[in-house]
Amino acid sequence: MPFDDVVLHVQRRLDRLIRFARLGAPPGPPRRRFLVVQIDGLSRAVLEDALAAGRVPFLARLLRRGAFRLTPMSVGLPSSTPAFQLAAMYGVRPDIPGFHYHDKRRRDDVYFPRGGDAQWVERTQAGDRPGVLRDGGAYGCVFTGGATDNLLTFAMLKRPTGAGARHALSRVVVLAWVVLKSTVLSTLELARAVLRFVADPVGETERGWRWLAIKLGISVWLRELFTMVVARDLYAGVPAVWVNYLDYDVFAHAYGPRHRRALRALRRIDRSIHQLWHVLRRVPEHRYDLYVLSDHGQAPCTPYLRLSGGRPIEETLLDYFDPERGREAEEPAGRARRVARGFAAFRTRRAPGLLQRFVNYLEHDFALVLGGLRSVREHDGIRVVSAGPNAFVYFLERAEPLGVEWIDRRFPGAVDEIARSPGVGFVLVRSDEGPLCVWRGKRHRLDELGDAPFAGRPDLDRVTEGIRDLMAMPSAGDLVVYGIDAPEGNVSYVPEIGAHAGTSHDELHTFLIHPRRADVPAPVTHPIQLYPFFLRYRGAA
């Protein structure tokens, strides 16, 4: 956008003036720098279809000209953003079984949008390892990667950081322009929505207005903010920048990974990447390399609540361990107690802020604002946590991970019955002989997965490796229940139409678009391989 360039030019002049006043230093000596653009939730299959259909014209042109190429990438299990980013940014095999899980040693849940949880995971699992974004910027990520500047990053969501007074002053111009531009774009979108309502009031009412709020917040305000702040960093010569565009992932969760609204969001991200490319072309002296990648794909799915008549999977699973348990009726004062707990959590900085809730704008998340988690049930020392197409069962009387031998002694037949349940694809469980996959009530070792349930999968090695890694995580449930490949199709245990964390081909397989001359591992079989590659930009081994 021409006006964006004018604003950035003014901002650069301000930067030079501040440096002249000795409040900051110019960029360091010439060396290669990098920009990572993450398109959250985009599978390689959907990208390839979008390239063929002309839905991402800039990325198509970038690849067609030959200076860039697309390398296949497998992301491992769970196929989720936190696990991917911790491995890529710090080079560790993460103990992150899902976006939401329970840590029996900590005696608490980890839910990444909740204040402090991502920061705790980053501190305890990354330790003193250098992050690939040291002295750089991270925008819209789960972890900081060691970045100095962080904006809407879960690990620093309540304390966005910047490198002192120079950054604060020089970004005033950029922020003011983002507010002005986003306000104009939002007004245009609202006007279009009113016209659509006049033309089709019944259809628009049925679709609801929530998607419009998502579009304005994620695809206008956040995307414009990220694009302009990253552009400002590129002009300033920041050594490493990682921006995570959330638009496609949010719409794919709400409508499905190939829905037209998700694909429109992808087109808008393509435009933002094109805009950043123009900036890179204007600062050749900074020697930036551009990388475009995705952390996971999504599988189209059916919410479990549609299959169960509204009963959550947590209740169903608990019944297998205590058939006489029954469902407890909620007292009239129960809701008031939950609200009180919510305010108490807010005071202790454990409740999610409004900004966090907006970034994760799925309808089921809003129960958190009132305290408590709708995707969690606990009864008689057994805790069940749902995190997407996966649900974790924890037996809390023992802090260590428990195997199928212990579970069979305490609850004979329960594991096999769960695997035969409606809406369940397979169950993973530890054993003295290694991880087992229980499919349709029959138990399979990892060397038997080619017979069932993953017969015919060309990526069987990747699936097997992912299951082995997942069940090696101490925080993975004593039982890990997946709705992927259930008899009814792919099933998610939270209310969403697109899901990830599982073993489907679209979830596991993404891409890395990179300069042709870049010596990246090919193919990338796990995101941990990206860590030494990006770390070399920082002059470290």
pLDDT at 119: 93
Is 455 in the same domain as 394? yes
Is 237 in the same domain as 317? no
Q: Answer yes or no: is pLDDT of 440 > 60.
A: yes
Residue 190 belongs to some domain of the structure: yes
pLDDT at 231: 86
Measured distance CA(422)–CA(420) in Å, rounded: 7
pLDDT at 197: 47
Find the mean pLDDT for residues 84-91: 98
Encode pLDDT of 155-200 as tens digits. Answer: 765 555 554 334 444 555 445 544 555 565 556 555 555 555 455 5
pLDDT at 10: 52
Quickly list DSSP for 442-511: EEEEGGGTTTTTSTT-TTHHHHHHHHHHHHTSTTS-SEEEE-TTBTTBSEESSS-SEE-SS-SHHHHEEE
* Residue 440 φ/ψ region, left for φ over 0, alpha for ψ in the -120 to 50 degree band, beta for the rest: left
Task: Give the DSSP letter of residue 331.
Answer: P
Total of domains in the chain? 2
Is 188 in the same domain as 218? yes
Asked if 483 contacts 424 with a C-beta cutoff of 8 angstroms, the reply is yes
Query: 3-class DSSP state for residue 399?
Result: coil
**Final residue of a domain: which of 495, 512, 529?**
495
Query: Cis peptide before 2, with omega less than 30 degrees from 0?
Result: no
pLDDT at 323: 67
pLDDT at 175: 55
Measured distance CA(171)–CA(81) in Å, rounded: 28
Find the mean pLDDT for residues 107-119: 90
Which pair of structure tokens corresponds to residue 323?
């058939």
Is 236 in the same domain as 308? no
Longest Cα pair distance anywhere in the chain, in angstroms?
76
Residue 16 belongs to some domain of the structure: yes
Q: Answer yes or no: is pLDDT of 310 > 60.
A: yes
pLDDT at 186: 54
Measured distance CA(380)–CA(403) in Å, rounded: 19
Lowest mean pLDDT among 76-85, 131-140, 223-232, 461-470: 223-232
Measured distance CA(85)–CA(125) in Å, rounded: 12
Find the mean pLDDT for residues 296-318: 95
Q: Answer yes or no: is pLDDT of 67 > 80.
A: yes
Spatial neighbors of 78 by CB under 8 A, at least 6 apart, are 96, 97, 98, 99, 390, 470, 500, 501, 502
Residue 360 belongs to some domain of the structure: no
Specify the higher pLDDT residue, 234 or 77: 77
Percent of the chain having pLDDT more than 70? 72
Encode pLDDT of 230-257 as tens digits. Answer: 888 888 889 999 999 998 998 899 889 9
Residue 15 belongs to some domain of the structure: yes
How far, in Å, are 315, 323, 399, 435 from residue 406 at the CA level?
22, 19, 13, 14
Quickly list DSSP for 345-389: HHHTT-SPPHHHHHHT--GGGGGGGGSS-TTEEEETTEEEEE-SS
Encode pLDDT of 398-407 as tens digits. Answer: 999 999 999 9
Q: Answer yes or no: is pLDDT of 311 > 50.
A: yes
- Kindly provide the b/e burial profile for residues 140-177, where b requires at least 16 CB atoms within 10 angstroms of the residue's own CB: bbbbbbbbbbbbbbbbbbeeebeeeebbebbbebbbeb
Q: Answer yes or no: is pLDDT of 142 > 60.
A: yes
* CATH number, position 515: 3.40.720.10
**Average pLDDT score over the chain:** 81
Tokens 């678009």 appear where?
513
Is 288 in the same domain as 306? no
Find the mean pLDDT for residues 221-230: 82
Is 409 in the same domain as 276? no
**Domain span holding position 133:** 2-92+129-299+504-538
What DSSP element (H or E) covers 416? Answer: helix 414-419
Lowest mean pLDDT among 90-104, 323-337, 410-424: 323-337
Measured distance CA(212)–CA(219) in Å, rounded: 10
Is 219 in the same domain as 157? yes
Residue 101 belongs to some domain of the structure: no
Residue 58 belongs to some domain of the structure: yes
Q: Answer yes or no: is pLDDT of 11 > 60.
A: no
pLDDT bin (cut points 50, 70, 90) of residue 152 is: confident
How far, in Å, are 23, 136, 435, 533 from residue 540 at the CA level?
29, 15, 36, 10
Residue 348 belongs to some domain of the structure: no
Find the mean pLDDT for residues 366-387: 71
Is 216 in the same domain as 315? no
How far, in Å, are 77, 195, 407, 485 from residue 413 at the CA level?
27, 58, 9, 22
pLDDT at 325: 53
Find the mean pLDDT for residues 5-24: 48
> How many of the other CB atoms lie within 10 Å of CB of 255?
20
- Strand ranges across the sheet with 33-39: 68-74, 509-515, 288-293, 33-39, 240-245, 137-139, 149-151
| pTM for the model | 0.82
Is 73 in the same domain as 135? yes
Is 260 in the same domain as 309? no
Residue 114 belongs to some domain of the structure: no
Is 263 in the same domain as 336? no
Measured distance CA(431)–CA(246) in Å, rounded: 38
Is 171 in the same domain as 312? no
